[in-house]
Amino acid sequence: MLSIDLTDRRALVAGVADDAGYGFAIAKALAEAGASVCVATWPPALSIFTALLERGKLDESRALAHGGMLEFEKIYPLDAAYDTLADAPEDIRASKRYKEAGDFSIDGLATQLRADFGDRPLDIVIHSLANGPEVKKSLLETSRAGYLAAISVSAYSLAAMVAKLGPMMRPDGSFLSLTYLASARVIPGYGGGMSSAKAALESDTRTLAFEAGRKFGLRVNTISAGPLASRAASAIGIIDRMVDYCAENSPLVQPITATEVGAAAAFLSSPLASGITGATVYVDKGYHAMGMAVTKL
């Protein structure tokens, strides 16, 4: 039987702060396939996330099909807006939500991974990171600062992580990010420069696939997932309408689930996908293929 086997492989999933989003579902799918999983969490959400885990509030979500439980080898603080701790403004470093986190930069994450697991500790890196502080604003209303913040965390952070973590990857390693159809189609209400950030992320995926493939022997892909009513996506303000509209107008008339995206991510991170790199893989019930609405909501 052909199966996804990630035994003896270690994954880092960056961007997990609860059990409702794609990041958690991907971490669970990787664990189901046998990988050990570390996660990186935005410092302001870190204490809440660890408290939920310690109190057993996520136990039902963590249950695996084979009877075990999704366990995290390590949980690291990460604010992907900063390459080094020195890049973070003093008011951020001194704030209540950050000062106990230690080095929460991308460089700090790499340093801690080496300290915990050695020089080449990783096989799989999942980039499930996005932030658009002005996502509810139209592009015409978006400030330069808001636009650049969206690009920084949602797109550039992938390039920064490949550069920093690439040398730490074992042979045949895989990077995978999450994008959205707004990169290529107009999605009214998905603003603040986030559509530009997703377009940049997909373009960078192709370039990084070439550069990291030649330099490190790594694969780099991205999944364009359909809309999901996660806690993080609620910041968009219209996420429920987006989910319903896409479901009604897709070839498969149903909303996408986080589990389906997790399964696709496990495949793309596995040796079964050894020939796939530089790709944007749509996991959206076929909505991306449609050129005309079927219904009006």
Active site residues: 180, 190
At 23, list the tokens.
């990041």
Closest CA to 50 of 9, 100, 113, 110: 100
Using CB atoms within 10 A of its CB, is residue 60 exposed (0-12), middle (13-18) or buried (19+)? exposed
DSSP helix/strand/coil, 42: coil
Measured on CA atoms in the order 284, 286, 292, 297, is the torsion positive or negative?
Answer: negative
Which residues, 6+ apart, have CB-to-CB distance to 107 below 8 Å?
A: 83, 84, 85, 164
36 neighbors 13 (Cβ within 8 angstroms)? no
